[in-house]
Structure 1
């Protein structure tokens, strides 16, 4: 199995409020996390950094995850704790008032992957059935699409596209989505912030991920595309490729 994390502040923003990484637990199992901070100058950085730091610390202390139920329970417990951490930090630091972050994370084993998310950072799977989005955006625009008020095409250019209906750290309690999928040989898991998914369409993502390029080249190509198409936002991604023949560990 190979994994790579890559982030870029884009061509317009002065700071990178995204954060993330691929981390190993005591049994050398991976967790992949992308967080897209919000709340203005510095506060977004704080929210995403706190989230990644806390989840990384907890994951590195975790024993082997054997079942999907264990993975889902881990997310339920840790998301509750990190949400409270971010929320309390915002309450206690005036400059961080109102900050929050999206999060999309995957616990990845050799038989399944459990995905948790809040907000509009996304997770996709590329397998024998093709390329598809696993997560569903917690956004105003997606609610409008679901209720039939606008089309999916309209959503792409909607002026309120960035308005979230859920974010981590903005309330004492947060709702989140968790689902477990089968993760098999030759499958690819792809996580990204909206700085990528708003710019690079699914056809281009799929074409890049299934190319013969190295995992590093795939990641760089996708970042370059998002910048080529404007790069107005920070851009962050993680690619996880499942191939038992790979002797290499994570590419960080």
Structure 2
């Protein structure tokens, strides 16, 4: 496996409420995490950091994940715990009330990837069959698009584009989506916050991922492009490539 991850404050925000990381369990399996926090002053940073740190803690203590079913179970069990911790912390700290975070995370093995997500941070996969989005935004505008009330083009500029219907930590009970797909040699996985996808089109994502640039350069180019187009939001991403002949990139 090769991987890289990056987070950038962007050009407008005065602080970064995203957290991103790639972690290894006891069997050296990979967990990639992107969390985009939201809430009052600095509270979004608290929520996204709690989600990332707790997932890391649970993962590095974990033995080998033996199957996709075990991976999905691990996500559901631990994301529910994390949701409860964030919710309780917000209730105990008035300055953090209402805080929450999106989450897109993936357990990556040499045969499959299992993704868990809540909110509008996204997962994409690039295979020999093409490039596609794996996650479905839990947002108001996406529901309006799916119900036929507005077009995808209208959604791009909708005044309530940032309204989420689900997030981690905002309610005591949470529902997350999980998905498992095959991960063949040469396939690439991209996890990212909406600071990237609100600025960089799917075609632009594909062009950079397919380019001859190395992984570090691809990550830097994606963030540069989002900033070049305005950079109004924090920008975070993780790229994992199933390359059995290469070592790790990043740390």
Q: TM-score of the superposition, structure 1-length normalised? A: 0.99
CA contact (8 A) 2:123 2:189 kept: yes
For 1:152 and 1:177, the matched residues in 2 are separated by: 22
Measured on the aligned residues, the alpha-carbon RMSD in Å equals: 0.6
Q: Which residue does the alignment assign to 2:238?
A: 238
Deviation digits for residues 176-199 of structure 1 (CA, Å, limit 9, x no counterpart): 100101001000000000000000
Q: Which residue does the alignment assign to 1:40?
A: 40
SS of equivalent to 1:124: strand
Q: Which residue does the alignment assign to 1:195?
A: 195
CA contact (8 A) 2:40 2:95 kept: no
For 2:40 and 2:236, the matched residues in 1 are separated by: 18
For 1:242 and 1:224, the matched residues in 2 are separated by: 25
Deviation at 1:250, TM superposition (A): 4.2
The 5 Å alignment of 1:13-52 reads: 13-52=13-52
For 2:23 and 2:86, the matched residues in 1 are separated by: 20
Stretches of structure 2 that go unaligned for 5 or more consecutive residues are: none
For 1:244 and 1:134, the matched residues in 2 are separated by: 23
For 2:131 and 2:171, the matched residues in 1 are separated by: 34
For 1:181 and 1:115, the matched residues in 2 are separated by: 9
For 1:45 and 1:155, the matched residues in 2 are separated by: 27
SS of equivalent to 2:154: helix
For 2:8 and 2:141, the matched residues in 1 are separated by: 25
For 2:171 and 2:113, the matched residues in 1 are separated by: 28
SS of equivalent to 2:124: strand
SS of equivalent to 1:45: helix
For 2:57 and 2:64, the matched residues in 1 are separated by: 15
The 5 Å alignment of 1:201-216 reads: 201-216=201-216
Deviation at 1:40, TM superposition (A): 2.5
For 2:154 and 2:28, the matched residues in 1 are separated by: 43
Deviation at 1:249, TM superposition (A): 2.0
Count of residue correspondences: 251
CA contact (8 A) 2:40 2:98 kept: no
For 1:183 and 1:156, the matched residues in 2 are separated by: 31
Deviating runs (4+, > 4 A) in structure 1? none
The 5 Å alignment of 1:5-20 reads: 5-20=5-20
Stretches of structure 1 that go unaligned for 5 or more consecutive residues are: none
CA contact (8 A) 2:33 2:52 kept: yes
SS of equivalent to 1:95: helix
For 2:17 and 2:40, the matched residues in 1 are separated by: 9
Q: Which residue does the alignment assign to 1:95?
A: 95
For 2:110 and 2:2, the matched residues in 1 are separated by: 12
Deviation digits for residues 25-69 of structure 1 (CA, Å, limit 9, x no counterpart): 000000000000000311000000000010000000000111001
For 2:28 and 2:117, the matched residues in 1 are separated by: 22
SS of equivalent to 2:245: coil
For 1:206 and 1:139, the matched residues in 2 are separated by: 24
